[in-house]
Amino acid sequence: MSEIKKIAVLTSGGDAPGMNSAIRAVVFSAAQFGIEVVGVLRGYEGLIDWETVALDINKVRNINNRGGTILYTSRSERFLQQEYRRKAARNLREHEVDALIAIGGDGTLRGAIAFEEEGINTICIPGTIDRDVSCTEYTLGFDTAANTAMEAIDRIRDSSVSHGRCSVVEVMGRKRGYIALWAGMATSADAIVLPEKWDGNYDSITDAIGKRHADGRDSYLVVVAEGVTDAQQLAEMIREKTGVESRVSVLGYIQRGGQPTAKDRMYGSLMGAYAVEQLRGGKQNRIVAIKNDFLIDYSLEEALDIQNNLMDSFQYELSLRLSE
């Protein structure tokens, strides 16, 4: 492989705290070896339209504490079509870009795999608050999102206790329930509803709350991952079957924003620098991953085939014990 002289970096899909740390580390690491960095705006969409900005150390020096992504992001429907991937690849070649670093979740990974057909060398960095990229034990943004959800739920619980009601709180995590699990356990939830474990049995929740209510309890907390079940319907069933006033709070996009935690800043920095090292070492079409707290990498195809990021059974069983 020829020497890397110029790379592009983009963020794609949902924004995640820690993305800016990864961008910063890419630029700083590249600068140490005389590699030019081009920032692509709006993810794969910007790659198609060639919306870019030159990145140097001065432009990224103090972005570690910023949420979101300074490169903006989007979900590109056009990139699913080969003609637009070819256009994106042509843009990179015409501007003499040797490789691409793409930061994002499962959709970003799939886009990079499709991009291989166009001869573009892409290194992926997993950035998604849902922690739903199976080949890695950690994805950028999760820790910040879980902490944001925890802090919000703590405040909601204060109100529940004051009014003697049940709060049903919906958090993000359509396919993976880690935010719900961690935030729910951290706030002593009475029930946590996860996509990996939900069997549609509302009675297990309403019966438990009804029993505790009969024993003298007067405030409750249920944390629900979005898309698993209708939070409003669950709240109404709790009220109907137990007589406990129930309210729904949907945390929504507040979980994506805010200053990244130290963990997300650190992992973002490590992953960004590691991606540059992989390119300098001649690696092609890889994804950076964390295993046993060490940085490793997989081929993009191998990463997509790995399905070992299932809900940890001990964590789930512990959540049930702690909610009794």
> Active-site residues: which are they?
130
For 135, residues 6+ apart whose C-beta sits below 8 A from its C-beta are: 126, 287, 289, 298, 302, 303, 304, 306, 308, 309
Site of tokens 């892409």:
122
Phi, psi of 118, rounded to the nearest 5 degrees: -90, 5
E strand or H helix at 226, and its extent? none
* Rounded Cα gap, residues 221 and 188, in angstroms: 8
Q: Are 16 and 129 within 8 A, CB to CB?
A: yes
Handedness of CA 142, 147, 149, 150 (dihedral sign): positive
* Rounded Cα gap, residues 241 and 183, in angstroms: 26
Q: Give the tokens for residue 30.
A: 């590249």
How buried is residue 154: exposed, middle or buried, by Cβ count under 10 Å (0-12/13-18/19+)? Answer: middle
3-state secondary structure of 39: strand
